[in-house]
Amino acid sequence: MNILVIEDEPKTRAYLAKGLTENGYRVDRAGNGDDGFRMAREGSCDLLILDVMLPGRDGWSILSELRQSGRQFPILFLTARDSVEDRVKGLESGADDYLVKPFAFVELLARVHSLLRRGSARSSEVLYIDDLEIDPIHHKTQRSGRRLDLTPKEFTLLYILASRTGNVLSRTFLAEQVWGMSFESDTNVVDVHVRRLRSKVDDPFNRKLIHTVRGVGYVLKTEG
């Protein structure tokens, strides 16, 4: 597995590279946002560890442009900012996990292992539910032949629901599966994403596929 580390602080960059290499990973490094973005866009990595504050292009813009260009490898955000708002912003922008500095290397390693397991476990099988088609390899979704323009998180959320068609999934389960972590009880990021997903998957069509089970969570199923 190849991991790209984009971190401008030399000691932190060397610390991460040494620890990850000792645990069997191949590590590429970049010390600024411009070089890091080029390496992430043109190279081949299985996971990106990305600092938020970087010289040149910052972590937010790197994350946004990589996701817009279709790069779907897991991204672990590193930041010194620990507010709920910052964490939600990073995850909604397409990050898969969020780690606040300073951190213990054993925690970072556990999160790296978890992200890589989740990535390797993703199915390549196209899913069909009613007139909905989900292609995880090409990251495409269509319904009744109409292409649906989903963000990376919306796509992942829909795929999780579709891969467990007929099963009611709790908000906690969806948060853990889609964002890799549990959210505080006052954070409604799952509900917000479900509403956005419904506006694209259900609202333009007569038959509704995404249903709310009050007090429990959400289920994707055909009506009737």
pLDDT value of position 185: 46
Q: From the CB of residue 6, how many other CB atoms can be counted at a distance below 10 Å?
A: 26
Instruction: Give the pLDDT confidence score for residue 116 in this predicted structure.
Output: 84
DSSP character at residue 215: T
Q: How crowded is residue 153: how many other Cβ atoms within 10 Å of its Cβ?
A: 21
In this structure, are residues 30 and 39 in contact, taking their beta carbons and an 8 Å threshold?
A: yes
* pLDDT tens, the chain, 224 aa long: 899 999 999 999 999 999 999 998 999 999 999 999 999 988 778 899 999 999 999 998 999 888 877 777 899 989 887 666 766 776 677 788 888 888 889 899 998 988 887 765 454 568 899 999 998 767 789 999 999 999 888 988 998 899 888 889 888 888 877 776 555 544 588 899 999 999 999 999 999 999 999 988 999 998 75
Amino acid 124: pLDDT: 55
Distance CA 105, CA 102 (A): 9
What's the predicted TM-score (pTM) here? 0.57
Return d(Cα 67, Cα 48) in angstroms, integer.
12
Burial class (CB in 10 A: 0-12, 13-18, 19+), 140: middle
Task: Write down the pLDDT at residue 176.
Answer: 74
